[in-house]
Amino acid sequence: MNVKQASVFAGTVAALAMAGTATAAFQGIGASVANVGADGTTFRIYAMMDAGDRLDAVAGNSSQGLSMTSDGGFYQNSNGGPTSKEINSNFFAFVPSLEWDSYVTVGALYQDGTPFGENALNTVGIDWADFEAGGDLETDNGTWFVTPDKEQGEAIDHGGDIGYGVLIAQVTTGENGGTFSGLLQGKDANGDTWQANVDGAAYGGGDIPAPGALALLGLAGVAGRRRRRA
């Protein structure tokens, strides 16, 4: 992690949290099934928005915790890691199951940045131990993010029911999926900051229910807690 870059971003988020206003940019949490295999059902979880909008941060604080829960635990490949920066797609030919590892991200699928030209993901304050051992991801003082100049935060068309959005996680678990909660922050097509509070949005198990309502919850004070693997 680039500590200097992370510190600058955290300060910027704190300032925006004091002055920002909610917009209609964020439309909810969506999910699609990427694979069904021996290790479980692989879901890709998205923040849905319009073309021209972007996502910069996924976070949790004392007002709104950040969590991902699962149906029976997350599949974690020993050759992967907790974020997309540890997923080397060059290894898929040798370890096919690595492609379905569980991890978090902003936009990019793999270490090489696919479908973008680079992967500039950063994390601050998250202890990944439980998640990397197959358990739930939880923090009330941490974030994963990209800085606002990085292309991978931009909404792209994922087709189907998702449409435009930004990938925030890939998880392999039981067919009933689980839930996602957290604070999201980004910019709309006009460059105005938006913030959203998502509380218990479900993925898997049939239809994805309506996400939590938008809320003006700041990302200030984000700085520390959790990881896991099988």
- DSSP states along 42-53: EEEEEEEE-TT-
Distances (CA, A) of 78 to 53, 87, 99, 227: 35, 11, 12, 13
Residue 79 CB burial class (10 angstroms; 0-12, 13-18, ≥19): middle
Domain count across the chain: 1
User: For residue 116, is pLDDT > 70?
Assistant: yes
Which tens digit of pLDDT belongs to each residue from 201-229? 999 875 443 333 333 333 333 332 222 33
- Can you give the pLDDT at residue 224? 29
User: For residue 165, is pLDDT > 60?
Assistant: yes
Q: For residue 205, how many other CB atoms are within 10 A of its CB? A: 14
Q: Which of 9-18, 74-83, 175-184, 201-210 has the lowest mean pLDDT?
A: 9-18
Task: Please name every residue paired with 122 in a beta bridge, in sequence order, or none if there are none.
Answer: 145
Residues 118-139: what's their mean pLDDT? Answer: 97
In a domain, 219, yes or no: no
Q: For residue 97, how many other CB atoms are within 10 A of its CB? A: 17
Task: Provide the percentage of residues in the chain whose pLDDT is more than 70.
Answer: 78
**What region, left, alpha or beta, does residue 50 occupy, with left being phi > 0 and alpha being psi -120 to 50 degrees?**
beta
- CA 145, CA 181: separation in Å to the nearest integer? 16
User: For residue 6, is pLDDT > 90?
Assistant: no
Domain span including residue 38: 3-203
In a domain, 123, yes or no: yes
Residue 49's φ and ψ, nearest 5 degrees, are -160, -175
- Can you give the pLDDT at residue 9? 40
In a domain, 85, yes or no: yes
In a domain, 215, yes or no: no
Q: Cα 42 from chain centroid?
A: 15
- CA 200, CA 225: separation in Å to the nearest integer? 20
In a domain, 223, yes or no: no
- Can you give the pLDDT at residue 71? 87
In a domain, 143, yes or no: yes
Distances (CA, A) of 111 to 2, 100, 196: 16, 14, 27
- CA 18, CA 41: separation in Å to the nearest integer? 40
In a domain, 228, yes or no: no
- Tell me the pairing of strands 156-157 and 137-139: unpaired
DSSP tag of 129 = H
- Can you give the pLDDT at residue 67? 97
Average pLDDT value over all residues in the chain: 83
- Can you give the pLDDT at residue 148? 95
Which tens digit of pLDDT belongs to each residue from 56-106? 999 999 999 999 999 899 999 999 999 999 999 999 999 999 999 999 999
User: For residue 230, is pLDDT > 70?
Assistant: no
**What region, left, alpha or beta, does residue 73 occupy, with left being phi > 0 and alpha being psi -120 to 50 degrees?**
left
User: For residue 26, is pLDDT > 50?
Assistant: yes
**Nearest-CA neighbor of 145 among 126, 115, 124?**
124
Residues 170-174: what's their mean pLDDT? Answer: 97
In a domain, 92, yes or no: yes
